[in-house]
């Protein structure tokens, strides 16, 4: 069984990739999205909740700074529904909970 935090890392990475590909027409990640992803993964590494954490979007302690919080919300709002086509089982539970 994959660790929860690894799963979340994969979901985050995938979401930013989908967002960038569709919105910025970028083959790989553009600089802005790369920076956002690095930031998000870094926050995840330092998450107080560790293995007991819930999904970031439902986390009570908002550890993102304002700017990145706005960005990641947009990414999740955009990629979330599209993730269903990529990784049905993994994601639906998170998004609909």
**Cα-Cα-Cα-Cα dihedral sign, residues 54, 59, 60, 65:** positive
Q: What whole-number distance in Å separates Cα of residue 22 and Cα of residue 8? A: 21
Site string for Zn ion, 16-45 (x = CB under 5 A): ----x---x-----x--x------------
Tell me which residues in 1-20 interact with Zn ion (CB under 5 A).
20
Q: How near is the Cβ of 1 to Zn ion at its closest, in Å?
A: 32
Q: What whole-number distance in Å separates Cα of residue 34 and Cα of residue 40? A: 10
Kindly tell me which of 28 and 45 has the beta carbon lying closer to Zn ion.
28
Task: Report CA-CA distances (Å) from 20 to 3, 51, 53, 93, 96.
Answer: 26, 28, 26, 24, 23
Kindly tell me which of 29 and 56 has the beta carbon lying closer to Zn ion.
29
95 binds Zn ion (CB under 5 A): no
| Residue ranges binding Zn ion (CB under 5 A) | 20, 24, 30, 33
């Amino acid at each position: 069984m994959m660790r929860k935090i690894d799963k979340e890392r994969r979901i985050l990475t995938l979401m930013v990739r989908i967002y960038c590909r569709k919105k910025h027409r970028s083959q790989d990640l553009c600089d802005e999205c790369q920076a956002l992803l690095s930031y998000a993964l870094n926050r995840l590494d330092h998450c107080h909740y560790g293995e007991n954490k819930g999904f970031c979007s439902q986390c009570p302690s908002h550890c993102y700074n304002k700017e990145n919080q706005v960005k990641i919300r947009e990414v999740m709002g955009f990629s979330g529904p599209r993730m269903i086509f990529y990784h049905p089982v993994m994601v639906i539970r998170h998004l609909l909970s």
